[in-house]
Structure 1
Amino acid sequence: MTGAATPVPADTGGRAEFAALPRALFLPELIWPYDTATGTCAAVDRRTDPGRWRAAASADIPVVTQWDDGRHTGPEPGTVPTSSASMPSVVAGMLEAAAPVPGMRVLEIGTGTGWTAGLLARRLGAGAVTTVEVDDAVAAAARAALDAAGLRPRVVTGDGLAGVPDGAPYDRLISTVGVRDIPAAWPAQVRPGGLLVAPWGTHYSNADVLVVLTVAGDGTASGPFLRPLEFMKARSHRLVLPDFAGELRPVDDSATGVGLPLYGPWHPFTFAAGLLVPGVTHAVRPLDDGGRALWLYALDGAAWAVAERPAGAGVTRVRQAGKRRLWNELLAAHAWWTAVGRPGVERFGLTVTPGTRTAWLDSPAHPLGDPPLPAAS
């Protein structure tokens, strides 16, 4: 839904596409512009406030267009945003990374409003673009908007994680939904030498990083991460917290002078932590005295940890239980990240095969491994 800003393409063709096909053509009358400063949304209705609607439609901000998989009604924001129109700068950045040119065929995963498919159709021709959307109502609205704009790419209703095999092979596959794994169907439907562009991340946080994978003849896909951003997740890739129905024992209780390794969602270590401590998510909670607690949860429900640091205290209390010592693993990950020069996300990359996924630092010759670090003793 949100993302790190990338300029609208400086090339004449890119600017012409955005000018000729503004995002406003694809937005419904009721929208919820996202305020990046406050992290909140407020409804804007074109029928009652056309000026604010036009301003929001043309601004470089994400705009929510659906809540709660379509179950939500009314002007108040719903619980979970489930479809949106991305920031124009983010759309521009993804198109720049994919670099589609006339003569190529493109598959888009996640039609949404239809705007990205429309931009691609203007550049490549409607017959060269296939887009797939899991939600019937969202797909229908996108078809109507595209038709009104005089553009008719192929719009398929279905599970985008399966791709659209009857149109393969594609020269480019562009995902506009965030994923936590690269489905095997995606590289299988891209021709050798083609590119797969997607917002990819771990469950450690909700943030994504744009990855550009080049598909090889053997079905392997490999490439670098480019920049942080955030997209709504594919439905089956949404975070589901573990159910600790039975209390894990024993609980180790200790104290340490080490502070909490807390960083914001866009910080490189937050991304690295997800790579280095696999299968784990985290949450930060305030303490009554103004301090903070860092919770770590293994997604399989087999371990948890909490580290509490009261305000002004020089000691962190750590409790952890289960098959893994998640606090120790996180400290080991932080030590590794520091030792290799505190790399940004752009130094990491990803290689996927039909049965494996390997993250690496600087080149595929330097894999992080699985698991990449042993738990600290």
Structure 2
Amino acid sequence: MTLTAQGLREELAETIAAAGGPHDPAWLDAVAAVPRDSFLGTAFFRPTGTAWEPVHRDGLAPEDWLRLVYRDATLVTQVDGIDAAHATGSVSGSPTSSSTLPSLVVRMLELAGITEGHKVLEVGTGTGYSTALLSRRLGDAQVYSVEYDPGIAALAAERLHGAGCHPRLIVGDGLAGHPAGAEYDRIVATCALRSVPPPLLWQLTDTGSLTFALGGWMHASGLVSLTSADDADEDTATGRFTGETVSYMLARPHRPPPRPKFFRHAGQTRQTAMDPALTQSWTGRFVAQLAAPSAEMTTTGDGVTLVDTATGSQAWTEPHGDGWRVHQHGPLHLWDQVETGITAWQQAGAPGQEEFGMTVTGDGIQTVWIGEPSGPSWMLPA
């Protein structure tokens, strides 16, 4: 039997359904209808060690290309501003655009509670694939999508129009939303955010929701949907994390600043009762990031290293006797912050991320908490 893109789209929809979602079959119909291959262009990157190798369409048999494109996998299309189509060899750097795995795309759209009649703002058009799913489900007039990168926006517009989709496309800073189209029933971010930009909440209807991945500089993240609180001021939004292990690239304005080469300083040294391995579980790393939001984390064979670019503060652990000791240097005691956060999490029973919630108040205070808003909590960076 001849392999076709249509057949592979239907297989992809069946694969997503067999894995447990979504509950709304309309999203599966959209997956079966939208040609993902049209939104990948002629190349994507695949990881090779610490670098990224371009995979070009013209270097593969047509059927092999289609099989790669219709996997339920994230395909990186740009690394540090270099498009895969323009790469002639491996490149180093961090992904700056991708086509997210379809099952996660539809999971986010369903978590947002999107249904017929809703007006939706998408923050981050990217390749345009998720935008096309929205247009297929809601109709073009109900979909607005903002893309920060003009080059990516132009390609997405071309591919969307080629697929017969004509949503409202905007080039600009998605973190400012799109006031001209407000108010929106739902806002969905396809990039991770360190905290919620207030304009996104201001542009929601009274019953609207904002769905996104809360991320940070330690590469930990959590999926959450915020809605107006029933028993609070109308400017307050709250929600609980799903606990799913999802990962999105940070919005470009939320990425960490360039960091100079790291040199260890002995600083102040003390014994620590906390095993650095606690920061490496899914939820443990999330807590560490909440406790020291301005720090980046790297792991080594003998522990972890924390570095704060703005202040030059650092902390690093090493084995000592039967336990560990930590060296801290600079105005911020980064390990103290992480240790205090992990201890509070453990004292709460070390719950999974699904027991965490988030609140944004009308005066701009943003907190992540365990159990209830009155439980252990951390403020997010402004």
Question: TM-score interval w.r.t. the shorter chain?
Answer: 0.7 to 0.9
Q: Does 1:63 align with 2:70?
A: no
Q: CA deviation at 1:257?
A: 6.1
Q: CA deviation at 1:242?
A: 5.5
Structure with more helix by fraction: 2
Residue 371 of structure 2 is matched in structure 1 by: 362
SS state of the match for residue 114, structure 2? coil
Q: Does 1:284 align with 2:263?
A: no
Aligned partners of 2:51 and 2:104: how far apart in 1? 19
Q: Does 1:125 align with 2:139?
A: yes
Are the aligned partners of 1:161 and 1:186 in contact in 2 as well (CA < 8 Å)?
Answer: yes
Q: Which runs of 5+ in 1 are unaligned?
A: 287-291, 372-377
Q: Which runs of 5+ in 2 are unaligned?
A: 1-15
Residue 301 of structure 1 is matched in structure 2 by: 311
Count of aligned pairs: 355
Aligned partners of 2:119 and 2:46: how far apart in 1? 32
Aligned equivalent of 1:11, options 18, 24, 33: 24
Aligned equivalent of 2:354, options 329, 340, 346: 346
Q: Which amino acid letter does the alignment assign opposite residue 47 of structure 1?
A: D
Moved more, 7-16 or 142-151: 7-16
Aligned partners of 1:34 and 1:92: how far apart in 2? 24
Are the aligned partners of 1:257 and 1:314 in contact in 2 as well (CA < 8 Å)?
Answer: no
Per the normalisation by structure 1, the TM-score is 0.86
Are the aligned partners of 2:145 and 2:168 in contact in 1 as well (CA < 8 Å)?
Answer: yes
Change (3 A) 1:93 1:39: farther
Are the aligned partners of 1:303 and 1:321 in contact in 2 as well (CA < 8 Å)?
Answer: yes
Aligned equivalent of 1:177, options 191, 198, 213: 191
Spell out the pairing of 1:1-377 with structure 2 (5 A cutoff): 7-33=20-46, 41-49=52-60, 50-70=62-82, 73-78=86-91, 79-203=93-217, 205-215=218-228, 218-226=234-242, 227-240=244-257, 251-256=267-272, 258-264=274-280, 267-286=282-301, 292-301=302-311, 303-309=313-319, 313-353=321-361, 354-366=363-375, 368-370=377-379
Aligned partners of 1:107 and 1:144: how far apart in 2? 19
Identity %: 34
Q: CA deviation at 1:184?
A: 0.8
Are the aligned partners of 2:220 and 2:289 in contact in 1 as well (CA < 8 Å)?
Answer: no
Are the aligned partners of 1:228 and 1:345 in contact in 2 as well (CA < 8 Å)?
Answer: no
Aligned partners of 2:357 and 2:199: how far apart in 1? 20
Residue 3 of structure 2 is matched in structure 1 by: none
Are the aligned partners of 2:122 and 2:144 in contact in 1 as well (CA < 8 Å)?
Answer: yes
SS state of the match for residue 207, structure 1? coil
Q: CA deviation at 1:258?
A: 4.9
Deviations 1:137-189 (A, max 9, x none): 11111111111111100111111111100000000000001111110110001
Moved more, 344-353 or 324-333: 324-333
Are the aligned partners of 1:27 and 1:113 in contact in 2 as well (CA < 8 Å)?
Answer: yes
Deviations 1:41-85 (A, max 9, x none): 432222220233211110011101112224773243432211100
Aligned partners of 2:135 and 2:200: how far apart in 1? 21
Change (3 A) 1:115 1:356: same
Are the aligned partners of 1:276 and 1:368 in contact in 2 as well (CA < 8 Å)?
Answer: no
SS state of the match for residue 178, structure 1? strand
Aligned partners of 1:245 and 1:273: how far apart in 2? 20
Change (3 A) 1:75 1:9: farther
Change (3 A) 1:367 1:26: same
SS state of the match for residue 82, structure 1? strand
Change (3 A) 1:228 1:299: farther
Change (3 A) 1:213 1:77: farther
Deviations 1:289-313 (A, max 9, x none): xxx1321223531532111127xx5
SS state of the match for residue 287, structure 2? helix
SS state of the match for residue 231, structure 1? coil
Aligned partners of 2:123 and 2:293: how far apart in 1? 26
Q: CA deviation at 1:133?
A: 0.3
Q: CA deviation at 1:331?
A: 2.3
Per the normalisation by structure 2, the TM-score is 0.85
Q: Which amino acid letter does the alignment assign opposite residue 52 of structure 1?
A: D
Aligned partners of 2:263 and 2:299: how far apart in 1? 23
Q: Which amino acid letter does the alignment assign opposite residue 171 of structure 2?
A: T
**RMSD across aligned C-alpha pairs, in angstroms?**
2.7
Are the aligned partners of 1:196 and 1:215 in contact in 2 as well (CA < 8 Å)?
Answer: no
Are the aligned partners of 1:358 and 1:367 in contact in 2 as well (CA < 8 Å)?
Answer: no
Q: Which amino acid letter does the alignment assign opposite residue 46 of structure 1?
A: R
Moved more, 332-341 or 132-141: 332-341
Are the aligned partners of 1:7 and 1:89 in contact in 2 as well (CA < 8 Å)?
Answer: no
